[in-house]
Amino acid sequence: MYLHCSAVFLVLSSVVYAQPASPEWQTAYAKANATLAKLSLWDKVWLGTGVGYFFGKCTGSTPGITSINFTGLCLEDSALGVRNVDKTSVFPPGINTAATFNRTLMNLRGIAMGQEFRGKGINVQLGPMMNMMRAPASGRAWEGFGADPYLAGEGAYETVKGVQSVGVQAVAKHFIFNEQEHSRMSSSSNVDDRTTHEVYLHPFLRSIQANVAAVMCSYNQVNGTFACENNSTLNGILKWELGFQGYVMSDWVATHSTGSVTKGLDMTMPGDIFPGSLISFFGLTLDLAVVFGAIKQYYVDNLARRVLASWYLLGQDSGYPAVNFNSKNAGSSDNLHVDVQGNHGSLIRTIGAASTVLLKNTGKTLPLAAPPSIAVIGSGAGPNPSGPNGCVDRSCNQGVLAQGWGSGTADYPYLITPLDAITNRSAVDKTNVTSSLSDSDLNAAAAAAKNKSIAFVFITADSGEAQYTVEGNAGDRNDLLAWHGGDALVQAVAAVNNNTIVVVNTVGPVILEAWIDNPNVTGLVWSGLPGQEAGNGLVDVLYGVYNPSGRLPYTIGKSIGDYPAQIDTTSSLSTVQIPYAEGIFIDYRHFDASNITPRFEFGFGLSYTTFDYSSLSISGSISSNQYSTGMGSSLDAMLHNPAITVSFSLRNSGSTFGHEVAQLYLTLPSSANSAPYILRGFDSIPLEPGQSKTVTFTLSRYDLSTWNVVTQRWEVPNGDIVVTIGASSRDRRLRGTISN
């Protein structure tokens, strides 16, 4: 059963903008309506039309309207920092942010990014990205928050709240089902209604709960209709069902018709039909379509109202700084080189450490305690020979891998390599450091590692946007193996050193089976993509300055075939059909339902201390009003009214301060036909040795519900619901029941 709208929506299709529910939106809409009355049709049209690919200083720009002191909008990539501009920071991307399982750090990162965008005079940050890691080889999945909708939703919510707290508009992208790079402009993602609601829609819902100003629609088709002119998804679900009050912009050159304005699109980017065409589907074309009666003026009024409301919502009508750069021309006099980094390097280092996942630590090899000698092996430990920004949009895998490639990147102000950070720390401890930075010279690697106290081997796996092909990978990865013969490099070192620790910098899962059980591989440190402080954040974990608390935001399987979905590499002159046949069973849900043993499960990560769980308590009851239509205030109430409170005691039973990431999973009644375990709560709890805390999670009726495709509403299934508390999706410490 594919997407469809309720009869109510079909009848009310001409009133897809409802009265805003929140006070903030109500105030913004009151101002927008007052301003709208002062504008001509021409003005209104251009509120939703970019100035063109080659014009403006920003990734995207809209023109100003002097009569209302509207200076136009500057829209700029990316979701991890300001793209193509100097004196800004490279933050860890979404995937590492998710690995912290720490809402505070998610929010602080959003605030810091917002400060940098505002400092450059940017109105709109083109992020966060929240598409799901449906297929582990997905090229841009590292920009998002992993493979679980609840975790991705919390990452999206906290990021949006952070970015918008300083007056910058955030953009939830890419709406919707943009989960691979191959054929992204010529494919149809075919997805059923339940899967849509329970998996892929949730992060966007949480963004709307955070008052996100804008949503970007994606390149792909959804069930045969382009996402940027899909009435069912844009008007039916996003604006009507979820009550989204902001504006919908197209991805760049993802608009396909002037009529898309009637299907829910409010802004076309970058404005021209194709770069340099000087003709737009909106602009003059839309103006004339209204004048000659082909399109009702209501739709233009609606787009203008939405754009203005978002502008007012963030207070950008008063005192907003002017654009002080030109991202399209590095040599332009418009580039004033304003330094907006502040002290953000410290936060980046903290997130880098907090997102590092310790996966193996035989014999407590880590943390290090002034070892006599260290070998550092692999190109991933060192610098890019061409400089940290030597490859356009980071479209190469040379040196330490701290972000993927494509439009989701930013220029490094500096990049701390692991080799430099280890060398600096080793000087304090008087540890001898030897290195071999070749991935292919296995003899040199073995020689450097032989007889050393510790041998660190750095391996990588990269991916990014489809506009670049890197080492034969056209955006999406070709497989889940380490690049540059990483398996052979580990094996060569482990053959001569019985204390080999592998450090993985990667965009997603990597198959480890060639060496993970080798007894000489005593440690595995999953560094992910840590941003500009890569080496320092890693060393903080290696030496115990930061007790590792990162947890996997996806499952690491034993083979690529363990995963339920793969990249569809079909090449066709017609539309490539991509069925989401796995439904709601992505990542760990599939592993659990199919009884597949992973190498490392979702939510897993080790610590230098231990934690005890006890005293589970479940209170509250499920209201007799067990369903919601999913529309407007009804859904809002269902999300925010807690039904169940779950409490338990958590104790640090070890000798070291650390954070434990406690996780709550639900098992719904069999009648729900759901996954065996579904994440519905988490927290990162700091504890001193011997300290105990009572941890409390609250569950709303929405958390307990599934989407009924027949009744088109959220319903709590009949039967008992099992609550599991533990340290990962498979490390289950406490169990209780919600009676229903």
Interval 598-608: pLDDT, tens: 999 999 999 99
b/e 599-620 (16+ beta carbons within 10 angstroms → b) = bbbbbbbbbbbebebeebebee
Give CA–CA dist 9/553, Å, rounded. Answer: 36
Q: Is the CB of residue 380 less than 8 Å from the CB of residue 503?
A: yes
Strands (E), 99-208: 124-125, 169-175, 187-190
Dihedral-angle region of residue 8 (phi above 0 means left; psi in -120 to 50 means alpha; beta otherwise): alpha
Classify 435 as helix, strand or coil. Answer: strand
Ramachandran category for residue 27: left, alpha or beta (phi over 0 → left; psi -120 to 50 → alpha)? alpha
Give SS3 for 479.
coil
DSSP secondary structure letter of residue 372: S
CATH domain 609-739 topology: Immunoglobulin-like (2.60.40)
| Segment-wise mean pLDDT, segments of 10 residues, the chain, 740 residues | 36 41 93 97 98 96 97 97 98 98 98 98 98 98 98 98 98 98 97 98 97 98 98 97 97 98 98 95 98 98 98 97 95 95 98 98 97 98 97 98 98 98 97 98 98 98 98 98 98 98 98 98 98 98 98 98 97 93 98 98 98 97 59 64 92 98 98 97 98 97 96 94 98 95
- Distances in Å between the Cα of 699 and the Cα atoms of 198, 655, 732 are 16, 33, 18
Q: What is the distance between the alpha carbons of residues 630 and 426, in angstroms, rounded to a whole number?
A: 57
| Closest among 315, 80, 63 to 213, alpha carbons compared | 315
pLDDT of residue 420: 98
pLDDT tens readout for residues 504-514: 999 999 999 99
Cα–Cα distances (Å) from 86 to 46, 113, 416, 418, 728, in that order, read 30, 14, 17, 23, 40
Res 622: pLDDT? 84
> What is the model's pLDDT at position 6?
35
Instruction: Report the greatest alpha carbon distance in the chain.
Output: 82
CB 689 within 8 A of CB 677: no
The pLDDT score that the predictor gives to residue 571 is: 87
Q: Which of 137, 126, 179, 129 minimizes the C-alpha distance to 156?
A: 129
Give the integer Cα–Cα distance in Å for 356 and 607.
11
Output phi, psi for 343, to 5 deg: -105, 30
- Residue 573: predicted pLDDT: 86
As a CATH number, domain 27-314 is: 3.20.20.300
Give the per-residue pLDDT at 188: 98
Residue 673 tokens read as 């036909």
Domain ranges of the chain: 27-314, 344-565, 609-739
With residue 23 as reference, give the H or E element that holds it.
helix 23-36
Catalytic residue among 43, 251, 411, 462: 251
Is 251 marked active-site?
Answer: yes
Distance CA 207, CA 194 (A): 20
Block residue for tokens 């080999």: 500
Residue 426 to residue 373: CA distance in whole angstroms: 9
d(CA 127, CA 174): 9
Q: What is the pLDDT of residue 4?
A: 38
Q: Do 350 and 548 contact (CB within 8 A), yes or no?
A: no
Query: CATH topology for 344-565?
Result: Rossmann fold (3.40.50)
Rounded Cα gap, residues 82 and 467, in angstroms: 19
Residue 581 vs residues 134, 189, 195, 224: alpha-carbon distances, Å: 11, 10, 10, 16
Would you state the pLDDT for residue 740? 83
pLDDT for residue 254 = 98
Count the Cβ atoms, other than its own, within 10 Å of residue 330.
12
Q: What is the dihedral of CA 639, 645, 651, 656, to 10 degrees?
A: 10
